[in-house]
Structure 1
Amino acid sequence: MINVFNRFYQGYDDWLDTAPGSLADQVETRALMDSLNPQPSQAILEVGCGTGIFTCKLAALGCRMTGVDIAPNMLDQARSKLRQAGFQADLRLMDITDMQGPEGSFDAAFSMACFEFLPDMAAAYQAMRKLVRPGGSIVIGSIQHGGAWADLYESPACRGTAYEYAHFPTAEDLMVLDPDHVRSRTDCLFIPPERPDQDYTLAEEDRRCATTTRGGFTCISFTK
């Protein structure tokens, strides 16, 4: 497995300061929160925590966060971000399939924009499921194949970036990981890329959601 994000970590968060990046962050966060329904004091595992974007958001809610990632450069940024915000989290340099711990150690687990880069999605999902208590939630969020954003990232325009190493699943591909325990599907990021900045609003996102069947990003929630 190529350690993609240990190479493409510099400036990773800069996109959030752009109009499309800010909108993507808002709608993906909304999809995650709706799918996961995190509660204060819950022990939550994040797979592929990267620079700590979602780690900080859940820590701010009072969740007890554990994050794993294979990119030490990104983990360094996450630790700095958490420290500056006054939050704490247990961040570990490891592959989720190597993580040891008692079954049911966490109330919930999630992964956002990570499964696209994993060599074995099924093994990663099963490792997450093992660590979640019975009745807990597992949420997988991914850029979705067949959506306009995946089309861009798969195009020659993104060669030489991290997306060159991605393999984008559909929502259906993710649901097959555990079809008997799918609880919900939430698509978002219906506004396509390379639009004028003024188009990236929640009102426009919600308008397109009502008329588009496949979002650029999907969140699948499972119940253990």
Structure 2
Amino acid sequence: MARGAAAGIRRACRRGRWLSGAALVGGFAVAAWWSDPQAWAAGAPGQSFGTERPQVSTSTDTARGEPRTGELGQTRVLPYPMEHVWPTAVRYLRVDRGYTIVDRDPDAGFILFDFPIGPDDRTGRGSVELFATKDASGRASANVSVSTDGGPLHLPNAIIEGLGEKLRRERGQPTAPPRPQPDAPPGGDETPKGKGKDKGKDEQEPSEPPQDDGLIVDG
């Protein structure tokens, strides 16, 4: 029985669990593992359990504000011109959210910022990329992309939502879409109907005034 228990302990070691010591008491194997709870839940560092998969943040990680692996982003077209969106985005990140602007370039259309993660001094890095475009109705707009490498999963979407709300408060509702241009008549003749006929009448030479028979004197 002792040999079987020892073999079980060795198999547990190969599976990546932390085995700190083992003692045989009364022919039974007693194993003691001591580590911090998070390491116990995740397994020994550096161990791979089969096929590696990208790490995915759980709801617990999001609630604690712990950083996640990889970047997440959101992209949206805001129906405001670029000259309105750019300064509003800088003020929204720095004033409304209290983030630190690390770098910005209006010509290249990007903003780099740091934001706090959790209660300690850890920070995450985020970016906002903007360029001028037109929306589906033809209005002058800005394409805004936000990406972050930490923090809650919904943070990029929350930043775009907050920026759009700030634009509505400060700039009002977006301008109305431009009216569609009327289609040209077939044949390439852009002269409205009836215009040419009236013009022809105007260009006719005036007729001679009628003569008064009373003024005609016979020879």
Q: What TM-score results when the alignment is normalised by the length of structure 2? A: 0.23
Greater C-alpha radius of gyration: 2
Higher relative contact order (CA 8 A, sep 6+): 1
More helix by share: 1
